[in-house]
Amino acid sequence: MNKKYNAVKITDTVSWVGAIDWQIRDFHGYSTNRGTTYNAYLIMADKITLVDTVKKPFVEELISRISSIVDPKKIDYIISNHSEMDHSGSLVEMMGLINPERVYVSKMGKKNLEAHFHEDVAGKLTEVKDGEKINLGNMNVTFLESRMLHWPDSMISYLKEEKLVFSQDAFGMHLASTERFADELDESLLKSEAAKYYANILLLYSPVVAKFLDRVTTLNLDIDIVAPDHGPIWRTKKDIEKIVGLYAGWAEQKPTNKALVVYDTMWKSTEKMARAISEGLGDGGSDVKVLSLGANHRSDVATEILNAGALVVGSPTMNNQIFPTLADTLTYLKGLKPKNLIGAAFGSYGWSGESVKDLSRILEEMGVELVGEGIGTLFVPDEEALGRCYDLGRAVAERLSQYTK
């Protein structure tokens, strides 16, 4: 094979051998407008070990990067921390090439990989328990289950001698880049992409995140490097403390004074209402963010909710229902289970007017505390209707200020 892809050294014994996906723009419903990486790692211990693989179309890149260090056939072990196909997609090919002595997986990882690949992996996987250690000759790996971060099979691997955690999907982000380390990238970019990743992948597991962070703290592991399965590697104490601190804060889901107005519109009537509500929110002291679903993706709305205290949604009535973009976005948000929000509903209608009632019901199902009964207006809102919208914004802002004290 032409060795056109090279490994990137992380420590004297550990190298990044993953792949960069510059083109991907959708990750099961999450907009990835900056691409992503599928990170895999090679440990050059006495027992050479590959940690995770890559999405199947990128297997040649993985093999090439490994080959820049060592003949892949000399690899002894494979560790699969997470069975989702962006990390296990090329596992069968690598097993065929390497013929490893062991493929280490969690109990649920074994079950999931067998459900993915059936007879190709049956009888070839070695299950490890939470807290179990394996010896690589001159180095040692400890496995810690991180169930539901973000699959039931998820685990992390701790390489003691390098003080390095292979954190699978935790502490990652979807970001294609030639820079491999967080300290090589702009801090604001890192924070925004990490927030988007957390909001769209891990938000619903926030209680699990909080418990896992507490557990890792209790174990008192000596950690110098955090190597996730997507995005850059965290290798400075400052950066590690920052990303762990962000996760702890996001997991808490403490409401802020930020109010999010999310809407779509057919003939600009609902948009006029949204603008009046946003003015009332702003004048009432809230930090306001207005997102039209004609210009914003559902995953951007999820990201904005991560540090919001209020969600106000608006939709015209179409075919006796809410507008399709609102149905899509609210279904997506409902699955992510954001907590500690207040909100309200609004919308224009022509002759039936179900949208406000339906929006209010969905918000209640999401656990959002409603302020007022919502506002509907026939066709184009007049000054009186816009005044009511402004007042609704002020009422939400007032309640939000009390809610966040």
Q: Which residues are catalytic?
A: 28, 82, 84, 86, 150, 169, 197, 230
The CB density around residue 272, as the number of other CB atoms within 10 Å, is 18
The encoded tokens of residue 262 equal 């999310």
How far apart, in whole angstroms, are the C-alpha atoms of residue 357 and residue 370?
A: 12
The encoded tokens of residue 12 equal 């004297």
How far apart, in whole angstroms, are the C-alpha atoms of residue 88 and residue 209?
A: 23
How far apart, in whole angstroms, are the C-alpha atoms of residue 38 and residue 216?
A: 24
- What are the two backbone dihedrals, phi and then psi, of residue 316, each rounded to the nearest 5 degrees? -70, 160
On whether the CB atoms of residues 153 and 145 are closer than 8 A, the answer is no
Query: By CB neighbour count within 10 A (0-12 exposed, 13-18 middle, 19+ buried), where does 334 fall?
Result: middle
Residue closest to 300 by CA, chosen among 314, 289, 309: 289
Three-class SS state of 24? coil
